[in-house]
Amino acid sequence: MELIEYWHLLLRRKWIILSALAIFFIGGVVYVSVVDPVYEANGKLLLVEDKGLSGLGSMGASGDLMLSAIGKKADPIMTQIEMLKTRPVLEKTIEKLQLTDKTGKTPSSGALAGMLGFSVVTNTNIIQLTCKNGDPKQAAEILNTLSDIYIEVNRDINRASATAAREFIEKQVAAQKQQLDSAENALARYKSKTGTVSLEQETQLKIGGIAQLESELVKVEAELQGIKSEIRAFEIKTDEPGARNSSKFTQWQAALEEAQRSLSISEALRNRLQTKIASENSSLNRLPKQEIAFANLVRDTEIAKQIYAGLLENHEQFKIREASNTSTIKMVEPAVIPDEPIEPQKKKILMLAVIAGFMVGFGISLLLEYLDDTPRSLDELKRILNRNLLGAIPYMKKMAPLYTRESSDSIASESLRLIHTNMKFTGLLTKKHNAIMLTSSQPGEGKTTTSVNLAVTYAELGSKTAVVNIDLRRPSFHKMLDWDFKLGVTDYLIGDASYEQIAYTGSIPNLTVIPAGTVPPNPAVLIGTQKMVELIKKLKNDFDVVLFDTPPITMVAETLDIARAMDGVLLLVDMADSSTRAIRHMAGLLEGKDLPILGFIVNKAGKSGIGQYGKYGYSYAFDK
């Protein structure tokens, strides 16, 4: 379809489209009027990496123990978001605010989770929180309460981790204290037994160095255990089925390689420490036997002292951490009560309703257009009939049957005069006396009305004219003209009336009307008689123009038969009620018959909204 055809479609189906628009628009108005408004509160939380206990060595811990346990194996911020969604946090929020739904029941944690939204602000450690609720105040309260509860949960988790670490170190301190006491008692007994008081200064320095090395070796061994554990975790991650399809696989690989490098460095350090300790112990073994035993006891005591001191230091730091009870989640932007609802978006909904209404209306129009078999345009009729368009008679709601007589200055009357003029240019009506028949593809297309009014036009323009109704099955001259016709063509053909008895004249100069007469049982037989041929010849001799109103050419045989005796054939197409299939059938019947077809006339043009008629460019203002 071309653009102009879509425009004509809109005009033809405008009431369907306007109705759909109205229905959808009213539906949209009702929806935005009755739907409960939804408000959205917003808040922000900051994930802080607390470095307070960094530097504790192998006995210390990084700031957030919950995160340090995860290490590089997960996204810390996404971990916090998942923790925010946990059932205990949501249930505590519901309990604290004593939330209820519309029915007065306490909502489930899942229902509350459906109101919440969490996202990460790009390239930051900030978590964006949203809450949608019909009550703007409650939306803000839910977010702020949820944030407060989670900050407490985060603090409790950190405190619990610090407490567990402190309790573990306390056990280690007690064990190390026993070991230190045992070493000191052994040294005291040896001194008492041998009478030895002290070692030489050089030996004491060596023992101090060995103790320091042993303490460092303990730390390195602890670090090695942690690195090995991390490597095992990453190896499990990368070996899982489908791990290579994960977006984090590259990060896991890089972290695994980094851990393996750290393992190599720590193992090399451990080996150097062990070698150095062995070397220092070897130098002690060169001392006199009695001095060696004394030096070993002093060394064991010094090592125990240093380890014990380190444990005491870490124990005090964990006590400080536990007492400080800090959280690594901070609220940086509390939620405020929103002023305007985010839903329903009235303008957007109404705009979508209008668009949907138009699309539905247009879709229905296209469907009806597809199912509608009436002609869509004059160009379509030209393509089907392959004949000249002689003119178009406009559709008017209130139009007298004999409009050329009663409204001679009307558009319809002018259109018939234009058709009369166009018929002269066909080149077929060259004789002084012409017989012209008017037919169509199906009944009810206005053949009788057009035939009579065209005859009136000829008569008014000075031609001696006769209009003959040979539609013997459905005669209608008497209804249209309101004349008292007693005899007609049928009566003449069967010999019951003379020529003079069937020719009626009235108040219209130059016009003679010959009706169909009595409806016969065999119209085709009567039309095909020699007497009918003689009647046509006589009429042509007596009149300048004889117009024959005939039955539809696609339905009765006599129409084609009588067309051979005509000087011109006019095809009538009802623009509003014709069927394109019937028109194609008519075109097929006429194909190859070598009949003197003058062209076609369009009746009721403009009823579908078309007001421009092909090559004539004549614009009519029809009464819709």
43: its two tokens: 């808040």
Query: What pLDDT does residue 602 have?
Result: 92
Count of positions (residues) in the chain: 624
Q: What is the pLDDT of residues 525-540, one digit of tens each?
A: 888 889 999 999 999 9
- Please give the C-alpha separations between residue 87 and each of 4, 101, 285, in angstroms, as whole numbers: 63, 18, 65
C-alpha span between 156 and 162 (Å, rounded): 10
- Digit-coded pLDDT (tens) for 91-145: 999 999 998 888 889 999 899 999 999 999 888 889 999 999 988 999 999 999 9
Q: Considering the chain, what percentage of its residues have pLDDT values greater than 90?
A: 31
pLDDT bucket at 49, cuts 50 / 70 / 90: low
pLDDT tops 70 at residue 619 = no
**CATH topology of 3-158+334-356 equal to that of 375-616?**
no
Q: Which two tokens stand for residue 38?
A: 């939804």
Answer with the residue of higher pLDDT: 210 or 284.
210
CA angle 599, 605, 609 (to 5 degrees): 140
Question: 55-90 pLDDT, tens per residue?
Answer: 333 334 334 444 443 344 457 788 888 888 888 889
Please write the tens of the pLDDT for every residue from 329-382. Answer: 888 899 999 988 888 888 999 999 999 999 999 999 888 878 878 887 788 889
Q: Nearest CA to 602 among 383, 445, 386?
A: 445
CA-CA distances (angstroms) from residue 428 to 388, 546, 552, 568, 594?
13, 15, 22, 7, 12
Q: How confident is the model at residue 266 (pLDDT cuts 50, 70, 90)?
A: confident
User: Which pLDDT band, with edges at 50, 70 and 90, does 552 fall under?
Assistant: very high
Contacting residues for 620 by C-beta, under 8 A, at least 6 apart: 392, 394, 411, 415, 605, 606, 611, 613
d(CA 446, CA 571): 11
Complete DSSP assignment for 364-404? HHHHHHHH--S---HHHHHHHH-S-EEEEEEP-SS--TTHH
Nearest alpha carbon to residue 609 among 590, 593, 623: 623
Q: With contact defined as beta carbons under 8 Å apart, do 562 and 527 qualify?
A: yes
Bridge partners, residue 391, by sequence: 601
DSSP 601: E
Please name which of 46, 36, 45 lies closest in space to residue 138, comparing C-alpha atoms.
Answer: 36
Q: Is residue 284 predicted with pLDDT exceeding 70?
A: no
Q: How far apart are CA 608 and CA 575, in angstroms?
A: 8
Long-range contacts, 224-232 (Cβ 8 Å, 24+): 224/263, 224/266, 224/267, 224/270, 226/58, 227/259, 227/262, 227/263, 227/266, 228/263, 230/71, 230/72, 230/259, 231/256, 231/259, 231/260, 231/263
pLDDT digits (tens, 9 = 90+) for 310-322: 777 776 776 776 6
pLDDT attached to residue 449 = 92
Distances (CA, A) of 289 to 279, 284, 329: 18, 10, 62
Provide φ and ψ at 599, rounded to 5°: 150, -165
Pairing of strands 568-574, 597-605: parallel
Question: What is the CATH code of the structural domain delimited by 375-616?
Answer: 3.40.50.300
Residue 622 has a pLDDT of 33
Give the model confidence (pLDDT) of 422-470 as tens digits.
Answer: 998 888 888 888 999 999 999 989 899 999 999 999 999 999 999 999 9
C-beta separation of 582 from 554 below 8 A: yes
Question: What is the rounded end-to-end Cα distance, in angstroms, of the chain?
Answer: 25
The structure's pTM equals 0.52
Residue type present at position 583: I
Please report, for the chain, the start and end positions of each structural domain, with discontinuous segments joined by +: 3-158+334-356, 169-328, 375-616
Query: What pLDDT shows up at residue 599?
Result: 93
Give the sheet arrangement for strand 116-120, strand by strand.
116-120, 126-133, 39-47, 329-333
CATH topology of domain 3-158+334-356: Bacterial polysaccharide co-polymerase-like (3.30.1890)
| pLDDT tens sequence across 487-513 | 999 999 999 999 999 999 988 899 999
Distance CA 431, CA 480 (A): 30
Distance CA 25, CA 48 (A): 51
Q: How far is CA 510 from CA 431, 484, 537, 545, 587, in A?
A: 19, 19, 19, 10, 34
Any idea which residue has 């579908």 for tokens? 608
Which amino acid appears at position 426 of this protein? Answer: T
Per-residue DSSP letter, 517: -
Residue 444: predicted pLDDT: 87
